[in-house]
Structure 1
Amino acid sequence: MGCGGSREKAKDTPQIWSNHLDRSSQSKYNFKIVFLGKSGVGKTSITIRFCRDTFFDGTEATIGASFLTKTMNIDNRTIKFELWDTAGQERYRALAPMYYRNADAAVLVFDYTDPDSFQSLQSWLYEIQKNVPDCVIILCGNKIDLESSRKVQHEAAEDYAKENDCLLIEVSSKTGQNIQELFTKLGELLSYKHYKT
């Protein structure tokens, strides 16, 4: 499995995936996935764990966005994930549309130890549903390894996901728990959607 990455500065990204139709017509399944959520919830750690099977304590906050790719085989299909890890700080919020434009899926990440990160999902969900209405959305609760520090109950997250017709997947970027399952589910949902169209 290949995995490549590069840092992307916000000012250098005015034409991200402007040729979306060309990507979707390729024989290989290429899907653009955007990670959104409050700063510190673990968006970067999730993408790095998936691509490099590595975890770094104290990962620096993303500036603008970072970009990683990884290819998987799911149900006899070759799927290339193009992962956009966006900055969670409020001062970068206005840049988010440049990154989620033409996204095939959005992973809205929250931290089970941070209730504010869970509350902030509503604004991200509304924004994605309004601006990318055909986008697959998954809610991702991170840091399930910190059970003793949990502030958001599983039942509350599950109810919120059901109310908004989204799938909830709980992960730990630190231990790697359910990271592969997250991306396998993304690949299944997206390839099924692609096949139907």
Structure 2
Amino acid sequence: MSAGSEIITEAPVSSTPALRPHIPTAFLHPILSAPSSLSCTTASLAMGRVLLKVIILGDSGVGKTSLMNQYVNKRFSNQYKATIGADFLTKEVMVDDRLVTMQLWDTAGQERFQSLGVAFYRGADCCVLVYDVNSAKSFETLDSWRDEFLIQASPHDPENFPFVVLGNKIDMEESKRQVSQKRAMTWCQSKGNIPYFETSAKEAINVEQAFQTVAKNALQQEQDDQLYVDYPDPIRIDSESTQSMGCSC
């Protein structure tokens, strides 16, 4: 497979009652069902491939689904309905000359679904926080989305867990903008210099660049997680114990 080639897989869409979470069948895949002490990427390494789990969070209507579809499928639609629970798409990409599979989870932005986070966030390698530059409220809730993720995902090193912030819908009229670039960058710097991109899912502005950074940071996190894998204590056989097992007759 050439470095520029990509394999795209879209999760099947299923209909569910309004208040029941949509859990794709792939959520029950062994990789995603790994013990909580291991990330899904650790399990994927054992199977001979690298799977990077990326969670996309933000208020309803900021463009999470549109960004994901623009990146994976190179298309935009105004007909998206609010996500119920979570959906995901996968895409194979090259990161530092290494072929990896990115699994992008598009989560519901409504408050009533925030309690479902623990099921979807565990094992994540990177979290993308999305807001609408034309909505001050969607920007102000980034703190709560970030805090909720860290609580539910319980990463080994929360202070250094990789986030990426996307200020979406920059294609709209400048007069409608409510969050300045300076304000957003100041917030990102205060949270540990989080990478920040201003994007347009509609016009495909900065979408590819943003997710390249997401993939690179996710892979680094996956590699760092290997340091935290719990292995059983080795059985120690020293000279004294070996001699004591010999025949004394």
In the superposition, the TM-score normalised over structure 1's length comes to 0.91
Is the 2:117–2:149 Cα contact (8 Å) retained in structure 1? Answer: no
1:188 aligns with 2:216: yes
Whole-angstrom CA distance in 2 between matches of 1:174 and 1:11: 26
Q: CA deviation at 1:128?
A: 2.0
Equivalent position of 1:18 in the other structure: 33
The structure that is strand-richer by fraction is 1
Equivalent position of 2:76 in the other structure: 55
Moved more, 78-87 or 15-24: 15-24
Deviation string, structure 1 residues 114-142 (Cα, Å, up to 9, x no partner): 11100111111112233333442111111
| Correspondence 1:48-197 to 2 at 5 A | 48-132=69-153, 133=155, 134=157, 135-146=161-172, 147-165=174-192, 166-195=194-223, 197=226
Counterparts in 2 of 1:97 and 1:193: CA distance versus 1, 3 Å: closer
Moved more, 91-100 or 13-22: 13-22
Q: CA deviation at 1:145?
A: 1.3
Q: CA deviation at 1:95?
A: 1.4
Moved more, 17-26 or 176-185: 17-26
Q: CA deviation at 1:15?
A: 5.3
Equivalent position of 2:3 in the other structure: none
Residue identity opposite 2:85 in structure 1 = G
Is the 1:62–1:87 Cα contact (8 Å) retained in structure 2? Answer: yes
Aligned residue-pair number: 197
Q: CA deviation at 1:183?
A: 1.3
Is the 2:54–2:105 Cα contact (8 Å) retained in structure 1? Answer: yes
Residue identity opposite 1:158 in structure 2 = M
Counterparts in 2 of 1:103 and 1:194: CA distance versus 1, 3 Å: closer
Is the 1:29–1:77 Cα contact (8 Å) retained in structure 2? Answer: no
In the superposition, the TM-score normalised over structure 2's length comes to 0.73
Structure 2: 5+ residue runs without aligned partners? 1-5, 35-39, 227-249
Q: Which of 1 and 2 has greater Rg?
A: 2
Percent of matched pairs sharing the same residue: 32
Q: CA deviation at 1:107?
A: 0.5
| RMSD, matched Cα | 2.0
